[in-house]
């Protein structure tokens, strides 16, 4: 690899396809109308995909640390494509969609997701926040692109054929993007950059480990602080992502207007990944986390009041997406800073299990609260509170190299 920026191009291609899962809300009402799904059932499919994504990523992280990112990412693209293709060939029942699009599709995302991030932080130790943000920006941007593609296809060919066509696109595109993903040579350093020397002990007199194994990492308080913050922030964002379009329709918007909000959220999700990653290189990781979680908590508490007009819904979607996207730049770069890059694939995979928990709590809570109460109020309020708790936790989370 003569130009390290080619890795970023490959990462963007892969992540755009994986990020189509964030366009899930465009499938919610069609599944309810065509196949009599309940709101809760639509969110269970979404949550199965997210939870499987996070669990499989642990295996994928270990595998890619051994064999490199390319083989694992190619396998992920094939599995993701297969899940959607099989979904398109089912009868549209809840169980069939949950097992194919949810379980198999989620496994494909889990296999592919960590590979671009792991390769990126190794090629760009001098710009970890920015490059991680760029690498995962495709995940948010892909949701915007595929929300439009899926909406158009659903209107013309129906839900099942839409799954089929998307599966073909995913399988081909992810394999192509994966060809760009390789690790740098052993001992690689960008020209003019020198790594910071790690002292033998931190300020507390504790022995410093430069590259933590996953077992060593799990024994640190820093890991558990990061894990809890990730659960809280991701649960709030995923609750909105999974329910945004039906929330907009419930609030009086047309389906088209509510669908536009999904696209807005996706665009700002992508922008937030780059912006928060870049800002964390300047401000520091945990300072950026504090600001991000504080803003997200405030907007979640106000969200119920912001569905009354298209403008307010668009602003809310933009802010939620922008802050939610920051999680996926800040947590991998913080994991690399805190625990080293040698085992970044498996280490970040363990941090990312928080996302799997959030994927179960957030969307299903939103759907269940609506089915029971006829409103999203008592889903959004608790989500805002836990984001504010995450902001507080960030103030106590210090790099183990200096804690």
pLDDT tens-digit map of 255-295: 788 878 888 888 898 899 999 999 999 999 999 999 999 99
pLDDT the model gives residue 143: 81
The Cβ of residue 40 has, within 10 Å, a number of other Cβ atoms equal to: 18
pLDDT the model gives residue 142: 85
Torsion sign over Cα 285, 399, 8, 177: negative
Is 93 domain-assigned? yes
Helix then strand then coil, in percent of the chain rounded to 5, is 80, 0, 20
Is 203 domain-assigned? no
Is 351 domain-assigned? yes
Token digits for 343?
A: 């085992």
Is 276 domain-assigned? yes
pLDDT tens profile 323-348: 999 999 999 999 999 998 889 989 99
Torsion sign over Cα 244, 246, 250, 256: positive
Can you give the CATH number for the domain in which 299 is found? 1.20.1250.20
Instruction: Find out whether 44 and 98 touch, Cβ atoms under 8 Å.
Output: yes
Instruction: Find out whether 88 and 161 touch, Cβ atoms under 8 Å.
Output: yes
DSSP 151-181: HHHHHHH-HHHHHHHHHHHHHHHHHHHHTT-
Is 40 domain-assigned? yes
Which pTM does this prediction carry? 0.80
pLDDT the model gives residue 136: 82
Burial pattern 100-123, b for ≥16 Cβ within 10 A else e, equals bbbbbbbbbbbbbbbbbbbbbbbb
Total count of domains within the chain: 1
Is 246 domain-assigned? yes
Token digits for 175?
A: 């394999």
**How far is residue 245 from each of residues 108, 143, 233, 311, 332, measured CA to CA in Å?**
25, 13, 20, 14, 29
Domain housing 251? 5-185+213-394
Is 402 domain-assigned? no
Token digits for 325?
A: 């996207």
Identify the three-state secondary structure at position 207: strand
Alpha carbon distance 399, 403 (integer Å): 6
pLDDT the model gives residue 170: 96
pLDDT the model gives residue 196: 72
Is 201 domain-assigned? no
pLDDT the model gives residue 403: 60
Q: Which residues of the chain have pLDDT under 70?
A: 1, 197-207, 403
């Amino acid at each position: 690899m003569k130009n390290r920026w080619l890795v970023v191009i490959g990462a963007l291609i892969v992540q755009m396809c994986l990020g189509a899962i964030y366009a899930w809300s465009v499938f919610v009402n069609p599944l309810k109308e065509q196949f009599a799904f309940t709101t809760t059932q639509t969110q269970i499919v979404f949550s199965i995909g997210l939870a499987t994504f996070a669990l499989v990523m642990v295996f994928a992280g270990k595998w890619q640390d051994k064999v490199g990112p390319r083989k694992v990412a190619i396998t992920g693209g094939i599995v993701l494509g297969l899940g959607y293709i099989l979904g398109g060939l089912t009868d549209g029942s809840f169980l069939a969609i949950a097992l194919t699009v949810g379980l198999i599709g989620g496994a494909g995302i889990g296999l592919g997701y960590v590979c671009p991030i792991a390769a990126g932080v190794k090629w760009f130790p001098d710009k970890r926040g920015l490059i991680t943000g760029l690498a995962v920006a495709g995940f948010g941007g892909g949701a915007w692109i595929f929300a439009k593609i899926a909406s158009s296809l659903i209107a013309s060919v129906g839900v099942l054929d839409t799954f089929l066509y998307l599966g073909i696109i995913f399988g081909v595109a992810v394999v192509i993007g994966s060809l760009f993903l390789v690790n740098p040579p052993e001992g690689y350093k960008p020209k003019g950059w020198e790594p910071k020397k790690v002292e033998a002990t931190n300020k507390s007199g504790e022995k410093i480990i430069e590259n933590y194994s996953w077992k060593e990492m799990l024994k640190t308080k820093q890991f558990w602080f990061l894990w809890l913050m990730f659960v809280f922030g991701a649960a709030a964002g995923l609750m909105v992502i999974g329910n945004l379009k039906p929330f907009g329709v419930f609030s009086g918007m047309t389906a088209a207007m509510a669908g536009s909000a999904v696209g807005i959220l996706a665009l700002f999700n992508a922008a937030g990944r780059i912006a928060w990653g870049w800002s964390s290189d300047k401000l520091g990781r945990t300072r950026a986390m504090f600001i991000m979680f504080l803003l997200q908590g405030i907007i979640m508490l106000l969200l119920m009041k912001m569905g009354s007009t298209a403008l307010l819904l668009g602003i809310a979607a933009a802010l939620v997406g922008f802050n939610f996207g920051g999680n996926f730049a800040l947590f991998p770069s913080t994991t690399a800073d805190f625990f080293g890059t040698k085992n970044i694939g498996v280490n970040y995979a363990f941090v990312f299990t928080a996302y799997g928990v959030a994927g179960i709590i957030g969307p299903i809570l939103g759907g269940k609260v609506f089915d029971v109460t006829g409103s999203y109020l008592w889903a959004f309020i608790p989500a805002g509170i836990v984001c504010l708790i995450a902001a507080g936790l960030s103030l106590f989370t210090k790099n183990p190299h200096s804690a």
